[in-house]
Chains A and B, each alone.
Chain A
Amino acid sequence: MNNLFLIIVSSIIFFLLFLNHSYAQVSNLEVDSTNVQTLKEVIISATRVERQLSSLPLPATIISKKAISRSNSNTLNQILQSQTGLTTVPDFGGGEGLQMQGLDSQYTLILLNGSPLIGRSAGTFNLKRINLGNIRQIEIVKGASSSLYGSEALAGIINIVTEKPTVGLSNYINYSLSTHNSNDFSYSMNNLLNNTGFDFFFNRNSSDGYDLNENDELMTVDPFVNYTINGSLTYDLKDKTKFSLSTRYYNNVQDNVASSSLKGLSEIDEWNTNFKINYSPNSKWDSFLELYLTNYLAKENLNNLDGSLYDESFYDHSLFKPELRNIYRISNNKIIVGGIGLSIEKLNRTYFEVKPIFKSPYIYIQYDYYPIEDLNLIIGSRFDSHNKYKSQFSPKLALRYKINEKISTKFSLGYGYKAPDFRQLYFDFTNSLVGYSVLGYNVAVESISLMQSQGKISNIIYSLDDLKGELKAENSISFNLGFNYILNSEISFDLNIFRNTIKDLIDTRVIANKTNGQNVFSYYNVNNVFTQGLEFNSKWNPSNSLTINSGFQLLYAKDSDAIKSFNNGEVYARKNPNSPAFQLKKKDYFGLYNRSRTMINININYDLFQKNIELNLKGKYRSKYGIIDSNYNNFLDSYDEFVNGYALIDFTLNKKINKKYNVGFGIDNVFDFKDYQNITNISGRIFYAKLNLNFNQ
Chain B
Amino acid sequence: MKTLKLLFLSFLIISLSSCSDDDEPLLDVVSNKVINFHAPQAGGMGQPITGEFAKFSFATGVQSSSSTEWDIGFRGTTIIVNGGTATGTADEPTRNGQGGAYVASGTMASVLDVDTTKFKQDASSALAITTGSGNGWYTYNGQSHVISPTPGKILVFKTHDGLYAKIEILSYYKDSPASPNAFTDPSRYYTFNYIYQPNKGQTSF
Show the binding face of A for B, using Cβ within 8 Å: 432-435, 458-459, 510, 513, 515-519, 570-574, 576-583, 628, 631-634
Distance from A439 Cβ to chain B, minimum over Cβ atoms (Å)? 16
List, in ascending order, chain A residues with CB within 8 A of B30's CB. Answer: none
Nearest B residue (CB) for A583: B107
7 A-B contacts, Cβ less than 8 Å apart?
Answer: A433-B45, A434-B46, A519-B133, A572-B153, A578-B171, A580-B107, A628-B141
Give the CA-CA distance A435 to B132 in the complex, in Å.
13
The proximity string for B residues 147-165 relative to A, scoring 1 for CB distances below 8 Å and 0 otherwise, is 0111111000000000000
Distance from B119 Cβ to chain A, minimum over Cβ atoms (Å)? 19
> CB of B25 within 8 A of chain A?
no
Contact between B150 and A632, CB atoms less than 8 A apart = yes
| Chain A CB within 10 Å, residue with most, of B108, B132, B141 | B132
List, in ascending order, chain B residues with CB within 8 A of A579's CB. Answer: 170
List, in ascending order, chain B residues with CB within 8 A of A432's CB. Answer: 46
Distance from B40 Cβ to chain A, minimum over Cβ atoms (Å)? 15
| Chain A CB within 10 Å, residue with most, of B46, B107, B131, B134 | B46
Give the CA-CA distance A163 to B78 in the complex, in Å.
62
Contact residues of B between 62 and 81, Cβ < 8 Å to A: 78
List, in ascending order, chain B residues with CB within 8 A of A434's CB. Answer: 45-46
A572-B148 CB under 8 A given contacts A434-B45, A517-B49, A634-B139: no
Contact residues of B between 129 and 144, Cβ < 8 Å to A: 131-135, 139, 141, 143
Q: Which of these binds chain A: B91-99, B175-183, B197-205?
A: B175-183
| Chain B CB within 10 Å, residue with most, of A458, A581, A628, A633 | A581
Counting from the closest, the 5 A-B pairs by CB-CB distance are A572-B152, A435-B46, A581-B151, A632-B148, A572-B151
Which of A435, A510, A583, A633 sits near B150, CB closer than 8 Å? A633
> CB of B116 within 8 A of chain A?
no
List, in ascending order, chain B residues with CB within 8 A of A517's CB. Answer: 44, 49, 78, 131
Nearest A residue (CB) for B88: A458
Which of A435, A510, A582 sits near B107, CB closer than 8 Å? A582
> CB of B20 within 8 A of chain A?
no
Contact between A583 and B45, CB atoms less than 8 A apart = no
Distance from A359 Cβ to chain B, minimum over Cβ atoms (Å)? 35
Nearest A residue (CB) for B145: A434
Contact between A583 and B110, CB atoms less than 8 A apart = yes
List, in ascending order, chain A residues with CB within 8 A of B132's CB. Answer: 510, 513, 518-519
Distance from A576 Cβ to chain B, minimum over Cβ atoms (Å)? 6
Give the CA-CA distance A90 to B135 in the complex, in Å.
30
Distance from B73 Cβ to chain A, minimum over Cβ atoms (Å)? 16
Give the CA-CA distance A459 to B124 in the complex, in Å.
9
Interface residues on B, range: 35 or more
Give 18 new A-B contacts, CB below 8 A, not counting A578-B176, A632-B139: A433-B46, A434-B45, A510-B134, A510-B135, A516-B48, A516-B49, A519-B132, A571-B152, A572-B105, A574-B151, A578-B170, A579-B170, A580-B168, A581-B152, A583-B110, A628-B143, A632-B141, A633-B152
Give the CA-CA distance A458 to B49 in the complex, in Å.
13
> CB of B191 within 8 A of chain A?
yes
List, in ascending order, chain B residues with CB within 8 A of A516's CB. Answer: 46-49
Contact between B170 and A572, CB atoms less than 8 A apart = no
Distance from A93 Cβ to chain B, minimum over Cβ atoms (Å)? 16
A583-B152 CB under 8 A given contacts A516-B46, A519-B132, A632-B141: yes
Contact between B191 and A578, CB atoms less than 8 A apart = yes
> CB of B85 within 8 A of chain A?
no
Contact between B151 and A631, CB atoms less than 8 A apart = yes
Distance from B182 Cβ to chain A, minimum over Cβ atoms (Å)? 13
List, in ascending order, chain B residues with CB within 8 A of A582's CB. Answer: 107
Contact between B126 and A459, CB atoms less than 8 A apart = yes
Give the CA-CA distance A46 to B176 in the complex, in Å.
57
Distance from B53 Cβ to chain A, minimum over Cβ atoms (Å)? 14
Give the CA-CA distance A252 to B125 in the complex, in Å.
50
List, in ascending order, chain A residues with CB within 8 A of B179's CB. Answer: 577
Contact between A572 and B178, CB atoms less than 8 A apart = no
> CB of B87 within 8 A of chain A?
yes
Nearest A residue (CB) for B135: A510
Contact between A570 and B105, CB atoms less than 8 A apart = yes
The proximity string for B residues 23-45 relative to A, scoring 1 for CB distances below 8 Å and 0 otherwise, is 00000000000000000000011
List, in ascending order, chain A residues with CB within 8 A of B46's CB. Answer: 432-435, 516, 518
Give the CA-CA distance A432 to B46 in the complex, in Å.
8
Contact between A572 and B135, CB atoms less than 8 A apart = no
Distance from A528 Cβ to chain B, minimum over Cβ atoms (Å)? 20
| Chain A CB within 10 Å, residue with most, of B148, B152, B180 | B152
